Chain A
Amino acid sequence: EAGVTQFPSHSVIEKGQTVTLRCDPISGHDNLYWYRRVMGKEIKFLLHFVKESKQDESGMPNNRFLAERTGGTYSTLKVQPAELEDSGVYFCASSHEGQGYYGYTFGSGTRLTVV
């Protein structure tokens, strides 16, 4: 079984530019999550999809961040325009419905650097 795939693995962009991160969850996983770790701090929840619907987006920092999951398969997280404080590692995770308590499967993350 393929794991959770994220790309790009690294992205360096200038302040004000737009970046789109992509996550391919494990096939058949209805739950998809985005988390991020900023500047060596704790990993923070951003949002949770169940299939194509946003179940919880309470962690999204502001309206410069837009997440989509069209068709309930892969997801994208767009940052527009990017600011310096958006630098960090963005993790995606997925789980089967009802199995989130056993821990999600995380991807390797996208390291975003805004300069």
Chain B
Amino acid sequence: GEDVEQSLFLSVREGDSSVINCTYTDSSSTYLYWYKQEPGAGLQLLTYIFSNMDMKQDQRLTVLLNKKDKHLSLRIADTQTGDSAIYFCAESMAGKLIFGQGTTLQVKP
């Protein structure tokens, strides 16, 4: 079945690292994505990882992929108040995206 699961809420202090976790079901997904939605804004593609990679780093963002366990994580180093948003994990399946419920990240000053 199509199921992407994420924890719903994460609270961290400014300057700490944030780790948002996601599990997915389709082992044939070629790409996995992280999207960010700030209040009142659309979905912004943060990063994506190809399924034959274990890790991808882009400035403060690190994506880890454990294909065996179908587990994807997004680490944000030195989390800032501007990182407060909803983060969605998504997998590609037959040309469409299957999203999780989104993790609300709250960053406390």
Residues of A within 8 A of B (CB): 3-4, 33, 35, 40-45, 48, 55-56, 59, 91, 93, 100-109
List B residues 7-46 near A (Cβ within 8 Å).
Answer: 30-31, 33, 35, 40-45
Rounded to whole angstroms, the CA-CA distance of A33 and B97 in the bound complex is 10
B interface residues, tally (CB under 8 Å): 24
Report whether B97 and A45 are in contact in the complex, using a CB–CB cutoff of 8 Å: yes
B101 within 8 A of A: yes
Q: Is B87 an interface residue (CB 8 A)?
A: no
CA distance A4 to B48 in the complex (A): 20
Contact A91 B31 (CB under 8 A): no
Residues of chain B with a CB closer than 8 A to A4's CB: 42
Verify B88–A103 contact, CB threshold 8 A.
Answer: no
Proximity string of chain B (39-79) to chain A, C-beta cutoff 8 Å, 1 when within and 0 when not: 01111110010000000000000000000000000000000
Q: Across the interface, do A91 and B96 meet the contact criterion of CB distance under 8 Å?
A: no
Q: In the bound complex, how far is the Cα of B101 from the Cα of A50, in angstroms? A: 27
Residues of chain B within 8 A (CB-CB) of A40 are 101-102
* A45 near B43: Cβ-Cβ < 8 Å: no
Determine the distance from Cα of A4 to Cα of B35 in the docked complex, in whole angstroms. 16
Known: A42-B102, A101-B30, A103-B48. A91 touches B42 (CB 8 A): yes
**Out of A33, A101, A109, which one reaches B31, CB within 8 Å?**
A101
Q: Closest Cβ of chain A: how far from B96's Cβ, in Å?
A: 4
The answer to whether A42 and B101 touch across the interface, beta carbons within 8 angstroms, is yes
- Considering the chains assembled together, what is the distance between the CA atoms of A59 and B98 in angstroms? 11
